[in-house]
Amino acid sequence: MNAKSIVEKFGFHPKEEPVSIYPFSPVYRITSFSKNFIVKQTQNPILKARRLMEYTNNLRKQGVKVVVPAILATENPMSIGEETYVVYPFIAGEFYSGRDVEIKDAGRMFGKIHSLSSSKNEFELDPYNVFDFNEAEVKDSVKNIIKNAAAWDIEISPKLESRLMQSVSNQGELKNARLPHVATPHDFKANNLIYTPDPYLVDPDNAGWIPRVFDLALVLLLFHNELATAPDQPFSHAQWHIFLAGYKEFIAFTLVEENYWQKAVEHVFLDEVMWLMADVIEDWQNPAQRNLFEHLIELLMDLEAYDIK
């Protein structure tokens, strides 16, 4: 189904075929009666989408600035073909630029979101269960990473493969560690925040039931990913502790979380970063992404400086 047919299901009537503003999935900006909206895919099937919207509406009621479905004359979200789509209001504001105040505010917002989670998965969000990586998969991915980097005369440390292999061997231990879980958007990155001037979360559609330190590790690794106005590297040591200071205004870590933090970061690198570096070849064509990738490997080898204590 083409984009025009999709947005028409929600009562919009653009004169031309909408073009996605995001390269990796359909996200359409629509103007109707002088108001701006975003039409995008969300969790599928519709039952999952409704649970997601219950979760985000609950966050909104408790003071978190997060997009919730726009009030339309049609059903929203809606199943269209084999996918589910949702319409959000377009949020105007400024993009993140890496200033300390932005980092601290983002940390506070993230901590508040985690603090509002029940100890049970009350919204029945999909639980995290990615503990099935194997050594062959890592070897193949590292080969692809080395190949992608070589095209730009970048050498990959041989320590990367051994570090990721160690992470594979830690999967069972992490799975059984009884880490505290939270309901969370699980894609808390700078490109999903608009500053109004307080941060406003504009893409909560990846929400799930996640080990809290896994979600925090994703922030450490990929907060600056895919945003031209962000620094082309992960948080510096100082920036990380600024973010953490804001986060800790709402959250106190358990001893189990502190003990498993480094292994959690290594696992999330395996899950979220390895495939980006191995499979998304076009990212290597972007100088900022290449620099980010190089610094991510350096961060992985220097985790002691990114503690949570």
Q: What confidence tier does 110 reach under pLDDT thresholds 50, 70, 90? A: very high
**Predicted pLDDT at 166:** 95
Q: What is the rounded average pLDDT of the residues 102-128?
A: 98
- Report which of 192, 258, 268, 182 is spatially closest to residue 223, judged by C-alpha positions: 192
Residues β-bridged to residue 181: 211
User: In the predicted model, what is the mean pLDDT of the chain?
Assistant: 97
Per-residue pLDDT at 22 exceeds 90: no
What per-residue string of b and e applies to 234-249 under the rule 16 or more CB within 10 Å gives b? bbeeebbbbbbebbee
| Distance of alpha carbon 231 from alpha carbon 283, whole angstroms | 15
In Å, the largest CA–CA distance within the chain is 58
- Indicate the range of 15-29, 60-74, 100-114, 193-207 predicted with least confidence: 15-29
Q: Is the pLDDT of residue 196 over 90?
A: yes
Q: Which residue has the tokens 């999903």?
A: 192
Superfamily of domain 3-89 in CATH is: Phosphorylase Kinase; domain 1 (3.30.200.20)
Q: Is the predicted pLDDT of residue 1 greater than 80, yes or no?
A: no
Q: What's the mean pLDDT in 285-298?
A: 97
**Number of helices followed by number of strands (H, E) in the chain:** 12, 8
Mean pLDDT calculated for residue range 267-271 = 98
pTM: 0.96
Domain locations along the chain: 3-89, 100-306
Cα separation, 289 vs 253, in Å, equals 32
pLDDT value, residue 223: 98
Structure letter (DSSP) for residue 195: E
pLDDT digits (tens, 9 = 90+) for 39-84: 999 999 999 999 999 999 999 999 999 999 999 999 999 999 999 9
Question: What is the band of 86 on the pLDDT scale with cuts at 50, 70, 90?
Answer: very high
User: Distance between CA 309 and CA 305 in Å, rounded?
Assistant: 11
The domain defined by 100-306 folds into Aminoglycoside 3'-phosphotransferase; Chain: A, domain 2 (3.90.1200)
